[in-house]
Amino acid sequence: MKKKYRCFALFSGGLDSMLSVLHMKNLGYDVLPIFFKTPFFGSENAIKAAEEIGYNLIIHDITDKHIKMLQNPRYGYGKYMNPCIDCHGLMFREAAELMKEYKVDFFISGEVLGQRPMSQRKDALNSVGKLSNIKDLIVRPLSQKLLADTLPIREEWVDKEEMLDIQGRSRKRQMDMANDLGIKSFQTPAGGCLLTDESFSLRLKDLIEHNMLELNFIEFLKIGRHFRLNDDVKVIIGRKDKENEMISHLAKNELILKTDNIPGPLGVINSKRNPSKEEISLAASILLRYNNKAQNRAEVIFGKKFQLTNKVEVPKIDTDILMEMKI
Ligand code: SF4
């Protein structure tokens, strides 16, 4: 009896990853979709997408390694702060480390030749392979007919004739396949990765430039208005109730600021050191600027979570000065 080969499928939750899983499943392979979680790409949508095609997703957190890679990706960034080649390389490398545990024979991904400007050119797919250390074990079912043979093809675990030859930016063939395979709902390509978002990327770049790329500071990038006071200190102001709740939730040792007895937004200071009195006053005057109910001068209370026991009276900051600090 022919051996049933098992493969990991790098699974983002996008349509291409769903199609590559189903294509291999229908050819009789044992496919294990795996998702690599980072602070920039949550797993919720991928879990739903896997469910849509009848799979439970394996979720593997690569946050620490991803943050390290992000500071200096070998192949640089895409349009924004997305280091897609290094990111894919890291995912394959991590998958390789789990290979024995899950008894997989090879790896697949939904990459389509020429679909994305940065990560899916032929040379980029080669670079991903090189970074991964398992270049010769990767099969890309949607485009493999157009790519160099890898070990699973040479050894005839995978029949090249059964692989596809999709390339380019048109989504027509994928849409037809989705239809044929009965996939009813799916995400837009690359949807969900914050590293492809322009304003998030600006804030992230600022963190990297100021040597503040730490997990908690990254989480704060997802909410609020951001202002840099100096090289060491920034302040974030909530824009709506949900963001104020998130500030309370995320703050650990950070100082929280709030107007005294006047409803309004919360602010939080991000810094690796204790902020000075002057820096706290400046942050307070920024906070006050975003409180419509407050007079031009008011008291702001501050302290660590649940201990806003300190007080400072400040004027609202001048708009011109404020705009210079906006990230
Ligand atoms: S879009 Fe984001 S998650 Fe996807 S490869 Fe690029 S950086 Fe990684």
Question: For 298-308, what is each residue's pLDDT tens digit?
Answer: 999 999 988 99
pLDDT of residue 91: 95
Amino acid 122: pLDDT: 81
Q: What is the pLDDT of residue 123?
A: 85
Ligand 1 mutation target, pool 11, 35, 37, 41, most atoms within 8 A of CB: 41
pLDDT, position 35: 97
Residue 161 Cα to ligand 1 middle (Å): 30
Question: What is the distance in A from the centroid of ligand 1 to the CA of 87?
Answer: 6
Q: Which two tokens stand for residue 311?
A: 């007080």
CA separation for the pair 327, 324 (Å, rounded) = 8
Give the model's pLDDT for residue 133: 83
Confirm if 86 and 80 have CB atoms less than 8 A apart.
no
Residue nearest to atom 5 of ligand 1 (CA): 84
Q: Residue 234 C-alpha to ligand 1 middle, in angstroms? A: 27
What's the pLDDT at 129? 83
| Ligand 1 atom closest to residue 193's alpha carbon, by position in its atom list | 2
* Dist. CA 7–CA 148, nearest whole Å: 19
* 5-21: pLDDT as tens digits: 999 999 999 999 999 99
DSSP per residue, 258-274: EETTS---EEEEEESSP
Q: In the prediction, which pLDDT does 189 show?
A: 56
**In the chain, where are the structural domains located?**
6-191, 197-325
Note the CATH architecture for domain 6-191: 3-Layer(aba) Sandwich (3.40)
Q: pLDDT of 133-146, one tens digit each?
A: 899 999 999 999 99
Burial pattern 42-67, b for ≥16 Cβ within 10 A else e, equals ebebbbebbeebebebbeeebeeebb
Residue 191's pLDDT is what?
A: 62
pLDDT at 81: 97
Specify the pLDDT at position 89. 93
Question: Ligand 1: residues whose CB is within 6 Å?
Answer: 41, 82-84, 87-88, 119, 190, 193, 195-196
Residue ranges, the chain, pLDDT below 50: none
Tell me the whole-structure pTM to 2 decimals.
0.90
Using DSSP's 3-state secondary structure scheme, residue 33 falls into: strand
DSSP character at residue 41: B
